[in-house]
Protein backbone atom coordinates (compact mmCIF):
# COMPACT_ATOMS: atom_id res chain seq x y z
CA UNK A 1 0.00 0.00 0.00
CA UNK A 2 1.15 3.52 -0.77
CA UNK A 3 -0.06 7.10 -0.46
CA UNK A 4 1.79 9.74 -2.42
CA UNK A 5 -0.12 12.80 -1.21
CA UNK A 6 -0.41 13.66 2.50
CA UNK A 7 -0.15 16.75 4.69
CA UNK A 8 1.03 17.35 8.24
CA UNK A 9 1.17 20.19 10.74
CA UNK A 10 4.07 21.56 8.70
CA UNK A 11 1.34 23.05 6.47
CA UNK A 12 -2.42 22.61 6.93
CA UNK A 13 -2.57 19.05 8.24
CA UNK A 14 -3.46 18.04 11.80
CA UNK A 15 -0.71 15.53 12.59
CA UNK A 16 3.01 15.69 13.19
CA UNK A 17 4.91 13.75 10.50
CA UNK A 18 5.82 10.97 12.92
CA UNK A 19 2.22 10.44 14.06
CA UNK A 20 1.11 10.31 10.44
CA UNK A 21 3.77 7.69 9.77
CA UNK A 22 2.64 5.65 12.77
CA UNK A 23 -1.00 5.73 11.75
CA UNK A 24 -0.06 4.71 8.21
CA UNK A 25 2.02 1.83 9.54
CA UNK A 26 -0.89 0.52 11.61
CA UNK A 27 -3.10 0.56 8.49
CA UNK A 28 -0.52 -1.49 6.60
CA UNK A 29 1.13 1.10 4.37
CA UNK A 30 4.51 0.25 2.87
CA UNK A 31 5.19 3.69 1.37
CA UNK A 32 4.08 7.13 2.47
CA UNK A 33 4.95 10.44 0.86
CA UNK A 34 4.67 13.54 3.03
CA UNK A 35 3.94 16.36 0.61
CA UNK A 36 3.06 19.51 2.49
CA UNK A 37 1.96 22.63 0.62
CA UNK A 38 5.00 24.47 -0.72
CA UNK A 39 5.92 27.71 -2.43
CA UNK A 40 8.96 30.00 -2.39
CA UNK A 41 8.48 30.75 1.31
CA UNK A 42 8.93 27.23 2.72
CA UNK A 43 10.26 24.85 0.07
CA UNK A 44 13.68 24.28 1.61
CA UNK A 45 12.30 24.09 5.15
CA UNK A 46 9.80 21.38 4.26
CA UNK A 47 12.35 19.15 2.55
CA UNK A 48 14.74 19.48 5.49
CA UNK A 49 12.09 19.03 8.19
CA UNK A 50 10.47 15.91 6.71
CA UNK A 51 13.89 14.46 5.96
CA UNK A 52 14.60 14.42 9.69
CA UNK A 53 11.83 11.82 10.09
CA UNK A 54 13.48 9.12 7.98
CA UNK A 55 14.76 7.21 11.03
CA UNK A 56 11.33 7.24 12.65
CA UNK A 57 9.86 5.91 9.41
CA UNK A 58 12.39 3.08 9.38
CA UNK A 59 11.42 2.19 12.96
CA UNK A 60 7.82 1.86 11.80
CA UNK A 61 8.85 -0.11 8.67
CA UNK A 62 7.45 2.55 6.34
CA UNK A 63 9.33 3.81 3.31
CA UNK A 64 9.12 7.59 3.73
CA UNK A 65 9.21 9.69 0.58
CA UNK A 66 10.22 13.26 1.37
CA UNK A 67 8.15 15.49 -0.85
CA UNK A 68 6.31 18.73 -1.46
CA UNK A 69 3.08 19.75 -3.12
CA UNK A 70 3.69 22.91 -5.14
CA UNK A 71 0.48 24.79 -4.41
CA UNK A 72 -0.88 27.78 -6.37
CA UNK A 73 2.61 28.43 -7.71
CA UNK A 74 2.43 30.52 -10.91
CA UNK A 75 2.77 28.12 -13.86
CA UNK A 76 5.95 29.71 -15.29
CA UNK A 77 7.71 29.07 -11.95
CA UNK A 78 6.72 25.43 -11.54
CA UNK A 79 9.67 23.91 -13.45
CA UNK A 80 12.24 25.88 -11.45
CA UNK A 81 10.57 25.12 -8.12
CA UNK A 82 10.26 21.42 -8.95
CA UNK A 83 13.91 21.26 -9.98
CA UNK A 84 14.95 23.05 -6.78
CA UNK A 85 12.93 20.65 -4.64
CA UNK A 86 14.75 17.71 -6.20
CA UNK A 87 18.10 19.46 -5.78
CA UNK A 88 17.36 19.93 -2.09
CA UNK A 89 16.70 16.21 -1.71
CA UNK A 90 12.99 15.71 -2.29
CA UNK A 91 12.11 12.18 -3.39
CA UNK A 92 8.81 13.23 -4.94
CA UNK A 93 7.29 16.42 -6.30
CA UNK A 94 3.52 16.76 -6.48
CA UNK A 95 1.80 19.71 -8.14
CA UNK A 96 -1.59 20.98 -6.91
CA UNK A 97 -3.62 20.57 -10.07
CA UNK A 98 -6.54 22.53 -11.49
CA UNK A 99 -9.22 21.10 -9.22
CA UNK A 100 -12.73 22.40 -9.90
CA UNK A 101 -13.17 23.56 -6.29
CA UNK A 102 -10.27 26.04 -6.07
CA UNK A 103 -9.14 29.01 -8.22
CA UNK A 104 -5.98 27.36 -9.51
CA UNK A 105 -4.28 29.36 -12.24
CA UNK A 106 -5.01 28.03 -15.75
CA UNK A 107 -1.87 26.54 -17.20
CA UNK A 108 -0.86 24.83 -13.97
CA UNK A 109 -1.74 21.38 -15.32
CA UNK A 110 0.23 22.01 -18.50
CA UNK A 111 3.30 23.24 -16.62
CA UNK A 112 3.24 20.15 -14.41
CA UNK A 113 2.63 17.67 -17.21
CA UNK A 114 5.54 18.96 -19.26
CA UNK A 115 8.06 19.10 -16.41
CA UNK A 116 10.63 16.35 -16.01
CA UNK A 117 10.95 17.05 -12.27
CA UNK A 118 7.25 16.59 -11.46
CA UNK A 119 6.11 13.11 -10.43
CA UNK A 120 2.39 13.45 -9.68
CA UNK A 121 -0.29 15.92 -10.75
CA UNK A 122 -2.79 15.98 -7.91
CA UNK A 123 -6.54 16.30 -8.49
CA UNK A 124 -6.15 17.64 -12.07
CA UNK A 125 -9.84 18.46 -12.55
CA UNK A 126 -11.08 18.61 -16.14
CA UNK A 127 -7.59 18.29 -17.54
CA UNK A 128 -7.10 18.86 -21.26
CA UNK A 129 -6.42 15.77 -23.36
CA UNK A 130 -3.20 17.26 -24.73
CA UNK A 131 -1.93 17.71 -21.17
CA UNK A 132 -2.75 14.08 -20.37
CA UNK A 133 -0.69 13.02 -23.38
CA UNK A 134 2.16 15.26 -22.20
CA UNK A 135 1.94 13.67 -18.75
CA UNK A 136 2.35 10.23 -20.29
CA UNK A 137 5.35 11.38 -22.32
CA UNK A 138 7.04 13.00 -19.30
CA UNK A 139 6.26 10.24 -16.81
CA UNK A 140 3.87 12.32 -14.70
CA UNK A 141 1.17 10.28 -12.94
CA UNK A 142 -2.38 11.61 -12.65
CA UNK A 143 -4.09 11.32 -9.30
CA UNK A 144 -7.36 9.68 -8.37
CA UNK A 145 -8.26 11.14 -4.99
CA UNK A 146 -10.54 10.36 -2.09
CA UNK A 147 -10.53 14.03 -1.03
CA UNK A 148 -14.01 15.55 -0.93
CA UNK A 149 -14.53 18.14 -3.64
CA UNK A 150 -11.36 17.28 -5.49
CA UNK A 151 -12.81 13.82 -6.23
CA UNK A 152 -15.69 15.20 -8.31
CA UNK A 153 -13.70 14.70 -11.52
CA UNK A 154 -12.20 11.28 -10.75
CA UNK A 155 -14.29 9.59 -13.43
CA UNK A 156 -13.18 12.07 -16.06
CA UNK A 157 -9.53 11.67 -15.08
CA UNK A 158 -9.83 7.89 -15.36
CA UNK A 159 -11.40 8.12 -18.81
CA UNK A 160 -8.87 10.48 -20.36
CA UNK A 161 -5.99 8.84 -18.55
CA UNK A 162 -7.00 5.42 -19.83
CA UNK A 163 -7.34 6.68 -23.40
CA UNK A 164 -3.88 8.24 -23.32
CA UNK A 165 -2.20 5.35 -21.50
CA UNK A 166 -1.21 7.63 -18.63
CA UNK A 167 -0.18 6.26 -15.25
CA UNK A 168 -2.83 6.70 -12.53
CA UNK A 169 -2.25 6.72 -8.77
CA UNK A 170 -4.78 6.58 -5.94
CA UNK A 171 -4.10 8.97 -3.06
CA UNK A 172 -5.89 10.37 -0.02
CA UNK A 173 -4.68 13.99 0.18
CA UNK A 174 -4.73 13.36 3.91
CA UNK A 175 -5.11 16.33 6.25
CA UNK A 176 -6.70 14.62 9.28
CA UNK A 177 -6.35 11.17 10.90
CA UNK A 178 -9.62 9.97 9.41
CA UNK A 179 -8.45 10.77 5.87
CA UNK A 180 -5.96 7.91 5.60
CA UNK A 181 -7.59 5.12 3.63
CA UNK A 182 -7.82 1.50 4.67
CA UNK A 183 -7.06 -1.19 2.13
CA UNK A 184 -10.79 -1.67 1.54
CA UNK A 185 -11.42 2.05 1.09
CA UNK A 186 -8.63 2.36 -1.47
CA UNK A 187 -10.30 -0.42 -3.46
CA UNK A 188 -13.69 1.32 -3.30
CA UNK A 189 -12.21 4.66 -4.41
CA UNK A 190 -10.49 3.03 -7.39
CA UNK A 191 -13.58 1.13 -8.52
CA UNK A 192 -15.84 4.08 -7.81
CA UNK A 193 -13.70 6.27 -10.06
CA UNK A 194 -14.43 3.92 -12.95
CA UNK A 195 -11.36 1.70 -12.98
CA UNK A 196 -11.97 -1.95 -13.78
CA UNK A 197 -10.95 -4.58 -11.24
CA UNK A 198 -7.79 -5.29 -13.23
CA UNK A 199 -6.97 -1.59 -13.55
CA UNK A 200 -7.65 -1.10 -9.84
CA UNK A 201 -5.26 -3.88 -8.88
CA UNK A 202 -2.59 -2.36 -11.10
CA UNK A 203 -3.10 1.19 -9.81
CA UNK A 204 -3.18 0.15 -6.14
CA UNK A 205 -0.08 -2.05 -6.25
CA UNK A 206 2.36 0.09 -8.20
CA UNK A 207 6.11 -0.26 -7.80
CA UNK A 208 6.62 3.26 -6.48
CA UNK A 209 10.39 3.24 -6.88
CA UNK A 210 9.93 2.40 -10.55
CA UNK A 211 7.25 5.07 -10.88
CA UNK A 212 9.65 7.72 -9.60
CA UNK A 213 12.47 6.70 -11.95
CA UNK A 214 12.30 9.13 -14.86
- For residue 200, what pLDDT band results from cuts at 50, 70 and 90? very high
Q: What is the pLDDT of residues 88-105, one digit of tens each?
A: 999 999 999 999 999 999
Contacts of 28 (CB under 8 A, 6+ apart): 1, 183
pLDDT given at position 214: 72
Q: Are 36 and 10 in contact (CB under 8 A)?
A: yes
Domain spans of the chain, in order of start = 2-211
Mean pLDDT over 47-52 rounds to 98
Mean of per-residue pLDDT scores for the chain? 98
Cα separation, 4 vs 201, in Å, equals 17
- For residue 77, what pLDDT band results from cuts at 50, 70 and 90? very high
pLDDT given at position 196: 98
Mean pLDDT over 145-149 rounds to 98
pLDDT given at position 171: 98
Mean pLDDT over 22-28 rounds to 98
Q: What is the pLDDT of residues 129-145, one digit of tens each?
A: 999 999 999 999 999 99
Residue 6 gets which letter from DSSP? B
Q: Are 92 and 4 in contact (CB under 8 A)?
A: yes
Structural class in CATH, domain 2-211: alpha beta
pLDDT given at position 110: 98
pLDDT of 14 over the 80 cut: yes
Query: What's this model's pTM, rounded to 2 decimal places?
Result: 0.98
Mean pLDDT over 108-117 rounds to 98
Residue of 76, 108, 114, 77 lying closest to 95 (CA atoms)? 108
Amino acid sequence: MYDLHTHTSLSDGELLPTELLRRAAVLGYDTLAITDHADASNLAHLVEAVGRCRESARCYCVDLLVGVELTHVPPPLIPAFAREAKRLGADIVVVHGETVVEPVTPGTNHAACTCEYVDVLAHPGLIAVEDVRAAREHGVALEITSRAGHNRTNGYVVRVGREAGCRLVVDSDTHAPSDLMSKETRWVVALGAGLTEAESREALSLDINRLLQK
